Amino acid sequence: MDPYKHRPSSAYNTPFWTTNAGAPVWNNKSSMTVGSRGPVLLEDYQLIEKLANFTRERIPERVVHSRGASAKGFFEVTHDISNLTCADFLRAPGVRTPVIVRFSTVIHERGSPETLRDPRGFAVKFYTREGNFDLVGNNFPVFFIRDAMEFPDSIHAMKPNPKTNIQEYWRMLDYFSHHPESLLTMSFFFDDEGIPQDYRHMNGSGVHAYSLISKTGKQHLIKWHWRPTCGMKNLLEEEAIRVGGTCHSHATKDLYDSIAAGNFPEWKLFIQVMDVDHEDRFDFDPLDTTTTWPEDLFPLQPVGRLVLDKNIDNFFAENEMLAFDVGHIVPGIWYSDDKMLQTRIFAYADTQRHRIGPNYKMLPVNAPKCAYHNNHHDGYMNFMHRDEEVNYFPSRLDPVRTAEKSPIPPRVLAGKRERVVIEKENNFKPAGDRYRSWAPDRQERFVCRWVNALGDPRVTHEIRNIWIAYWSQADRSLGQKLATRLNVRPTM
């Protein structure tokens, strides 16, 4: 049989999408949820297959966030939020928790220059007395898509061309021309913030809505925000070329040198708080990762400070083997029904088990610093010495019992199985508002970057028109500027 005749790729054999088993896929954009909002169902085999295949595409480098730098320090509570959460590490001002933080670029490979235009990862592992809490986010407060079903495709579009291994903007512009919800994130990506000066002068955000649970079980939706005390600074194109040509690891070096010199980087942690009963009162969906919560409605409330005062001892042991898991929460903190967050709870642990191994949490950098006990025995690279005879639960011969119940959101879930886009789309206004808030010179740099990107000869007339139409809906003058410089008549 001709080995290429029935090639196992979505680009061959059928005019429609299928699973790896050949079953037809009628919706390749939306996760299966309880109702239109979620949560996401584990029975969504198509989603899990898509994500599981995606997270196993490359070894041993991370598929995303492969280029990174880490440092250690502490988080100190500065403001009392015990009315919002019963989390032990947030119990009172003055409480300190050891942390390790990993900064990263998202798209580019492990050896790439740190001056390339790209979102930046900002991940914090809190070693609390109740277990590890991993707050995994970016320097942008929003993401390109709102459903993880589309995550592998979005990353493929931003990664290098599989034929040439060259990263090309036309691929990204083609893919996201189908996703007007990406506009606000694009306003960050092509803005000055697309190339931070270094990791010390960079914002951070949890991106997703999380839940804080009080001792009485009261739930609030919140968003996490990190702000550097030394201010935010970025590199313009000419500076990035100069800096990157001098040292392709400039941000890693800056972080290491600053800590070694006693100039400890510091960030303030803020939260935005929303009553869970009020989430339907707004013209946007609070669980949509492609939009922000307006700060005039949900002001930033201070929580604490993050200080990095110790460099890592070994890059491989404490950066490459450092593994974050969005599923790591502690009592007093819970997830939300955000479709992206719900799926990351599965995907992060899954990719770490593939990349490092099933016992990656035994590694010192990933292991909790509090006592822990379970019956997860054996497996590849299990180096824990155990001599007990009872490895099952429950047992009358083993005094270990379950912990005290901690509060979780009590909301009753009801809805039919469906794959749908969220109802309240807010694709254009936030991006336009952000553009109008900039000084004229910043607007001009943004326009020039888009003209260069859309001027690529591989960008078709159709795709160019779509982006001009999108930006015209965000801000009419911006759309007109793009159309004029690209010699295209704007259509809306």
Q: Which of the following is catalytic: 6, 13, 27, 65?
A: 65
Q: Is 138 considered catalytic here?
A: yes
Specify the DSSP class assigned to residue 388.
-
Query: Which phi and psi (to 5°) does residue 401 adopt?
Result: -135, 175
> CA 114 to CA 195: how far, in whole Å?
9
Q: What secondary structure, in 3-state letters, does 228-252 show?
A: ECCCCCECCHHHHHHHHHHCCCHHH
Q: Which two tokens stand for residue 455?
A: 């001027």
> CA 183 to CA 14: how far, in whole Å?
32
Extended strands (E) in 349-446: 417-419
Q: Which of the following is catalytic: 108, 132, 138, 139?
A: 138
Question: Are the CB atoms for 322 and 70 separated by under 8 Å?
Answer: yes
The radius of gyration of the chain's CA atoms, rounded to the nearest angstrom, is 23
Residue 123's SS3 state is strand
Q: Is 65 considered catalytic here?
A: yes
112-151 exposure pattern, b = at least 16 Cβ within 10 A, e = fewer = bbbbbbbbbbbbbbbbbebbbbbbbbbbbbbbbbbbbbbb
Is 372 annotated for ligand binding? Answer: no
Question: Are the CB atoms for 121 and 65 separated by under 8 Å?
Answer: yes
- Show contacts of 3-11: CB within 8 Å, 24+ apart: none
Question: Are the CB atoms for 349 and 52 separated by under 8 Å?
Answer: no
CA separation, residue 179 to residues 184, 421, 428 (Å): 11, 11, 11
Q: Could you tell me which residues are annotated as the binding site for heme? A: 348
Q: Could you tell me which residues are annotated as the binding site? A: 348
The residues that are catalytic are 65, 138
